[in-house]
Each structure stands twice: as C-alpha cells, then as structure tokens.
Amino acid sequence: MSILKLIKPRVLAAIKAVSTAAAEIPTVADCGYTSGAGNPKQALLADIQVRGILSAAKRLKLDPTDFAKQIVEKLDLQGVGKATVDGPGFINIKLDDAWLGDRINKLFWGADPRLGAEEWTGRVVLDYSSPNLAKEMHVGHLRSTIIGDALARVLGFVGADVIRQNHVGDWGTQFGMLIAHVYDTDDVNLDQLQDLEALYVQAKIRFDVEEGFADRARDYVVKLQAGDADIVKKWEKIVEVSLMHAQKIYDTLGVLIKRSDAYGESSYNADLPNVVTDLDKAGILAVDQGAKVVYTPAFQKDFGKGKPVFVVQKTGDGFGYAATDLAAMRYRVRHLKGDRLLYVIDNRQSLHCRQLFDVSRRAGFLPENVEATHVGFGTMMGADKKPFKTRTGGTIKLAELIASAQERAYALAKEKNEKRSEADRFTDAQVRDIANKIGIGAIKYADLSKQRDRDYVFDLDAMVQFEGNTAPYLMYAYTRCRAVGRGATAATEASSSAPIATTTTTTPPKLVLTHNAEHVLATTLLQFPDEIANVIATSCPHHLCGYLYRVAGAYSQFYQACPILKSEGEVRASRLRLCEATAELLKTGLGLLGIGVLEVM
Ligand code: ARG
C-alpha cells in the first residue's frame, strides 16, 4: 500500500480532533513526498509534507502555525514517524528508519508480487498499434505500439484483465490498389511475396499517376466488400503477409501483441448496416448531402463554419472509418465486456475519438458505467523538428529504425568492452546481444519517458547513451546492483544467487538504516505503489520512467555515500538487501515498460 494512503487518514483524524469544519475541506489532508533524492536538503527535513493545512486555516480564519501545531499534537504516528511544524502551516513528516526497513522487507521479501501496488480488477480493452496493413510498419506506428504495450503491462501487473485489440486497417482503398496491381502484373506471386513494401510502392505510383487505375482500385474495393471469391482470396493473402511482417516487428520489439490480437476493420463489415439502423432507431441519424451522418454540435468549434458531422456512411454506400469504430465500440462493450476502453491513437485523431465517444453515448452503445478514453500522443519529430522522415522525405520503416538504434548501441558497447580488462571482456556475439537489447530498450524508453501528448524529437544518439535519463543508464544501474550482490556472494561464498522473489527466508535480516542516503533510497523505493497508481489513473507511462530515474539516482547516492562490501555485520547485510531491493524494483519497473534487463553489460 502507498505510504501516503496510510498516513492520510491519520492526518485527517488529527485534523478532525482539532476542527471538524477543517476536516470537511476536501484537500485539507493532502500530502505528498518531498522531492527525495532530487532535493537532499528538503529530504533531510522530511519525507512527506502535509500541504492542505495552510489554505484551510486561511479559509477558517485560524492562525496557520497554531493550527498546524495543534494538529501535530493530536497526530498519532506511533512507530511510523515524527511530525513537526514547518513554516506557516506545513506539517513535515519524517519516517522512522526501523519502520521503513520493516516495510522494505515486507514488500520485497513478502508474498506480494505487486510490490505494494494496489490491485485493479476490471476488464480493460486496449486498442493499440493498429497499423494500416498492406505496407510495412513505419515510424508512425511506433508510439501507439510502445505506449500501448507499457499500459498493457502495467494494467496486467495490478490484476486487470487486459484484452488487446490490434484494430488493423485491413479494409480500405489500399487493398483495392494492391489487388488491381496484382491482377495487372503477371510476375507477382502472392504465395511467395517477400517485399510487400515494393509492391505497395509500385501500386501507389500507378494509383497516383496512371489514368483510370484509381477508379479500378476503388472498384475492386467494392467487389471485395461484396464478397467476390477470387478477390477475397487475394485480399486474405495480402492481409496475411502484412500481419506476418507486423508480427516480426512486434517480436523484435518484444511487445505483447500476438497474431490473435489482430481484430481488424474487416471484422466489423457485416455489422455496419446494423450500426446505421440502430443510430436511426436512437433518433440521431441525419442525411447530409446524401451522406448518412450524426451531428455532433458539441464539437462545432472544431468545424468552424462547416456542419459538425460524424460521417457514418458516405454518399454511394461506402461505410467509413467512423462506422467501423462504432461497430467496434459495441463489440468491446457488449461482447468483450470491457469496463474501461482505451484507445492509444495519435493526437491527430482526437476529434474522431471525441465524436466517437459522444455519438456512442447518445446511441446507447457506450453505457454510463463504461469509461472510454483516448490515450493520445504527439508526433515523433526529426532533428529538423519536422515529422520524422528519411532524408529524401520517405517514411522510415520500423525494421530499419530498430536496426540503426542497435547499430549505435553496438558502437558504444564495443567501445566500453574494449576498455575492460582482458579477463572480463565479452565476445563479439555477446556485445551484439547486449547492444540489441539496449537498442530496443533505448527506443522504447526515449518514447515512454516523454510526456505522451507532446511531440518529441527522436534522437538516436542521445537515447543510447549510458548517462542521463536513458534506458542504458537504468539498465546499467540494475546490472551494477546485481554486481554488488555477486561480489558479496563471492566474498562469503554463500550459495544463494536466487532472485529474491523466490528466496524464502523465514526471518529476514532486519534492515538497519544508519545513513541518510539509505533512508532516502528506502523511502524512494516505497513510492512504487503511488507511481503505479498514477500511471493507471493518467495512462501516462512517463511517470514510471521519471520514478525509475529517481530510484537510480537515489541508489547512486547511496552507493557513493555508503560502503557496502567493506561494511560489516548487520549494516553490511542490510545494505546488500537494499541493493537487492533496488535491483528488484528496477527490473520490475523496466519490465513494465517492456524493457528487459541484463545481468552483465
Ligand atoms: N489504423 C488507424 C490508423 O493507422 C488507427 C486505428 C486506431 N484504432 C481505432 N479504433 N480507430 O490511423
């Protein structure tokens, strides 16, 4: 459980004992961690600060210092910590070292695999990745894939039943285009299609320049949707090859998406006419210039002078993206029975999502008790601050991007390796393996550590560095923690190198925290439940990244200030435990971001 959640009711009880009127002010007992490792001076004074007192005192016309003093007198923190009044109306709480040590033991060597994070039961339908098929995955698909995957992991970790939906675009014009091109080109053997991208590029050129080709492509789409057997067969083949390509990327990236998570636009085809009928029954369907639409006046501002329409069926029978999403909405609510629906989609589709949710509510597709959220994200930019492209303006394939991150990481890892003593040096194959993992971790972490709704500059050189807020830095922090443990094992010739989760010690050694750096590290480690809760509440993984970076920082200060292997007795045992707990936390935290750790690097 979060320490804040444990302290807050006690603070509130004390406030109530002093003033019932104050206790009724909603924010009165608000407390937060002091910045800990980031601000050592503040951390020396307090671990937690109660922040709502001052404004409550003002409201009730009380003297804030007096008020705070009275509260502190009534505050029962027996065994947990000590409270003091700081300045006008702040209450500082310093946690007790013995209590902290005990909690670390309970969380890291107890039976709780969630390390204190609160359980979240319920079903989440998570729409992420969702590329348009028929061409290879490119950088534009990266953010949804990475952010969505981190959320899937965090939600799964706290006990949610996560249903992944890879809402692939498998039904649009791009297929008509490819099929038309395949019909015209004798030498395309769909059974042996290797280079999907080349086929796509050829077809796209014809689509853009060749007279009549675009019309034929559209005609094929109509035939496909009408179920023409031969065309359907070709379409299936192309979808299959596309999905295979995508799956390769997912596997390389180490994301959770499986082939069976693909539930594409085409899956909803048969239900689209029903959607239209039901919108009509709900009394919200209108006809606008021949198209079937739902007006969404709540979003008039986004349409300027135009009519605020959500186009469900275009003129001439074609159902669009909106209709498919309405059908998917019903499927996720009625069939998948989601309690919470998350859509990890580019910010550029924000209006689409708002309209989708609005129309779904009004049509009765999205009941009150189901929450739908657009988890939007900004654009990945190149060094020129423009959407990330190749030098010639083309889109960058994901496979190439991953390879270049791994190549950069390899250069750095190789350099590092050469500086090692001969006995400790890795083989080239090992360096490659390390670099491949760093490369993937670097790409993911660079993305996840940014506030997701902002655009960010993709900087390969920065993300593979071993210093700063990067994946290699955190991965290395883990490796260093583990190395300390191995050093101790070697020194004492103790046999247990088992991961702590499986270590069963009946009476764990007491943690004795003797130095402020240990105190700060322990308090930081125990903030894990709060950070997880924050990620779940906001769907923003960067909170977890920032937290892990703080943990690594606190560890680093501890490591510098406190001799470990050279210390003795229970202090030594205790410091080793802190190393192990830090390792466990970094491994768990990075794992939740989809980043694997290395025992040596
Ligand atoms: N395929 C879409 C695109 O690439 C994204 C789909 C997102 N999911 C959804 N339910 N609309 O733009």
- The pLDDT, as a whole number, for residue 185 is 83
The helix (run of H) or strand (run of E) holding residue 493 is: none
Q: With bands split at pLDDT 50, 70 and 90, how would you rate the model's confidence at 87?
A: confident
* Closest C-alpha to ligand 1, atom 11: 325
pLDDT digits (tens, 9 = 90+) for 49-63: 998 999 999 999 999
Q: Which CATH architecture has domain 123-135+143-169+262-381?
A: 3-Layer(aba) Sandwich (3.40)
Q: What percent of the chain is modeled with pLDDT above 90?
A: 78
Residue 274, pLDDT > 50, answer yes
Q: Which atom of ligand 1 is nearest to the CA of 169?
A: 1
pLDDT digits (tens, 9 = 90+) for 469-495: 999 999 999 999 999 988 888 776 544
470 lines ligand 1 (CB under 6 A): no
Task: Flag the least confident range among 28-42, 136-150, 230-244, 343-357.
Answer: 28-42
345 lines ligand 1 (CB under 6 A): yes
Closest CA to 430 of 412, 449, 446, 417: 417
Å from CA of 321 to ligand 1 middle = 8
Q: Which atom of ligand 1 is nearest to the CA of 141?
A: 4
Residue 499, pLDDT > 80, answer no
- The pLDDT, as a whole number, for residue 43 is 66
Task: Flag the least confident range among 53-62, 83-92, 193-202, 546-555.
Answer: 193-202
- The pLDDT, as a whole number, for residue 197 is 81
353 lines ligand 1 (CB under 6 A): no
Mean pLDDT of 247-274: 96
324 lines ligand 1 (CB under 6 A): no
Mean pLDDT of 190-204: 80
pLDDT digits (tens, 9 = 90+) for 555-574: 999 999 999 999 999 999 99
- The pLDDT, as a whole number, for residue 391 is 77
Å from CA of 131 to ligand 1 middle = 7
pLDDT digits (tens, 9 = 90+) for 8-35: 999 999 999 999 999 999 999 999 998 6
- The pLDDT, as a whole number, for residue 251 is 96
- The pLDDT, as a whole number, for residue 136 is 83
Q: Which atom of ligand 1 is nearest to the CA of 325?
A: 10
Q: Which atom of ligand 1 is nearest to the CA of 140?
A: 4
pLDDT digits (tens, 9 = 90+) for 363-384: 999 999 999 999 999 999 988 8
Q: With bands split at pLDDT 50, 70 and 90, how would you rate the model's confidence at 92?
A: very high
Q: With bands split at pLDDT 50, 70 and 90, how would you rate the model's confidence at 3?
A: very high
Mean pLDDT of 91-119: 94
d(CA 13, CA 19): 10
356 lines ligand 1 (CB under 6 A): no
Å from CA of 132 to ligand 1 middle = 7
Best of 128, 332, 345, 352 for a ligand 1 pocket test (most atoms within 8 Å of beta carbon): 345
- The pLDDT, as a whole number, for residue 314 is 87
Best of 136, 167, 331 for a ligand 1 pocket test (most atoms within 8 Å of beta carbon): 167
pLDDT digits (tens, 9 = 90+) for 288-338: 999 999 999 999 999 999 999 999 998 876 788 999 999 999 999 999 999
174 lines ligand 1 (CB under 6 A): no
Å from CA of 325 to ligand 1 middle = 9
The overall pTM is greater than 0.85: yes
Q: Which atom of ligand 1 is nearest to the CA of 321?
A: 11
SS3 571: helix
165 lines ligand 1 (CB under 6 A): no
Å from CA of 44 to ligand 1 middle = 49
Q: With bands split at pLDDT 50, 70 and 90, how would you rate the model's confidence at 158?
A: very high
* C-beta separation of 141 from 344 below 8 A: no
Give domain limits for the chain.
3-95, 123-135+143-169+262-381, 173-254
- The pLDDT, as a whole number, for residue 494 is 46
Q: Which CATH architecture has domain 3-95?
A: 2-Layer Sandwich (3.30)
132 lines ligand 1 (CB under 6 A): yes
Residue 507, pLDDT > 70, answer no
* Closest C-alpha to ligand 1, atom 8: 167
Å from CA of 413 to ligand 1 middle = 37
- The pLDDT, as a whole number, for residue 36 is 56
d(CA 349, CA 109): 45
- The pLDDT, as a whole number, for residue 318 is 77
Closest CA to 584 of 551, 546, 557, 535: 551
148 lines ligand 1 (CB under 6 A): no
Q: With bands split at pLDDT 50, 70 and 90, how would you rate the model's confidence at 287?
A: very high
Q: Which atom of ligand 1 is nearest to the CA of 345?
A: 7
Best of 321, 342, 349, 360 for a ligand 1 pocket test (most atoms within 8 Å of beta carbon): 349
557 lines ligand 1 (CB under 6 A): no
* C-beta separation of 440 from 251 below 8 A: no
Å from CA of 84 to ligand 1 middle = 53
DSSP string, 193-207: ---HHHHHHHHHHHH
Arithmetic mean of pLDDT over the chain: 92
Best of 130, 324, 360 for a ligand 1 pocket test (most atoms within 8 Å of beta carbon): 130
- The pLDDT, as a whole number, for residue 317 is 67
Å from CA of 381 to ligand 1 middle = 20
508 lines ligand 1 (CB under 6 A): no
Closest CA to 7 of 70, 75, 84, 71: 75
Residue 178, pLDDT > 50, answer yes
Closest CA to 525 of 113, 104, 153: 104
- Name every residue whose Cβ is closer than 8 Å to that of residue 61 and which is 6 or more positions away in sequence: none
- Residue 432 CB-half CA count within 13 A: 4
Structure tokens at 373: 């959220």
Q: Which atom of ligand 1 is nearest to the CA of 167?
A: 8
* C-beta separation of 131 from 170 below 8 A: no
169 lines ligand 1 (CB under 6 A): yes
Mean pLDDT of 136-149: 93
